[in-house]
Amino acid sequence: MGEQHRLQAKVLTVSDGVVAGTRVDSSGAALVQLLHANGFEVISQTVVADGADNVAAALTELAEGFAGLVVSTGGTGFAPRDQSPEGTRLVIQREAPGLAEAMRLVNPLGRLSRGIVGIRGEAIICNTPGSPKGCVEQLSAILDVLPHALRLLADQPAPH
């Protein structure tokens, strides 16, 4: 993408502990570093408490009028408060199951991730696990195709 259409991303950390100040947001920081290293400009970093409604509200706000990647970390597991996928389903218009499947394949523990990937407007919303290692591994699995996907969403000419 040319300078006029630089890749942009927003990072959302879903964590009761980070919101309460009892945990450091290592995963959000790891995602920001990974995105920067892969040519994305991270234009916002937000924290929200666990729960489907909190996640849905935050993702709706982050995706509104935004053409780029919105990546969440946390809330994708089996614990009762892990409701990021449920919140994400409330806001996406279309799912991108191939991306979520590719993310789960990077590591045997990936099979425990319930994260989803989907589209809202011109934004791609992507759930990743709450561990720094897990979120980086899973996002890394799809970073190579995201620029092309974002171009297609923006309806820009793309070589096939």
pLDDT by residue (tens digit) across 9-30?
999 999 999 999 999 999 999 9
pLDDT above 80: residue 1: no
Return the domain boundaries, the chain: 7-153
pLDDT band at 2 (very low <50, low <70, confident <90, very high): very low
**Across residues 34-39, what is the average pLDDT?**
97
121: alpha, beta or left, given left = phi > 0 and alpha = psi -120 to 50? left
pLDDT for the residue numbered 156: 73
Read off the pLDDT of each residue in 59-88 and give the average, rounded to a whole number.
Answer: 97
Determine the average pLDDT of the residues in 97-120. Answer: 96
Task: Over range 105-111, report the average pLDDT.
Answer: 93
Distant-in-sequence, close-in-space partners of 124: CB < 8 Å, separation ≥ 6? 68, 69, 70, 96, 99, 117, 118, 146, 149, 150, 153
The full 3-state SS of the chain, as one line of letters, equals CCHHHCCEEEEEEECHHHHHCCCCCHHHHHHHHHHHHCCCEEEEEEEECCCHHHHHHHHHHHHCCCCEEEEEECCCCCCCCCCHHHHHHHHCCEECHHHHHHHHCCCHHHHHCCCCEEEECCEEEEEECCCHHHHHHHHHCCCCCHHHHHHHHCCCCCCC
What is the per-residue pLDDT for 157? 65
- 136-159, pLDDT tens digit by residue? 999 999 999 999 999 999 987 666
The CATH code belonging to domain 7-153 is 3.40.980.10
Contact 38, 97 (CB under 8 A): no
Q: Assess whether pLDDT exceeds 50 at residue 133.
A: yes
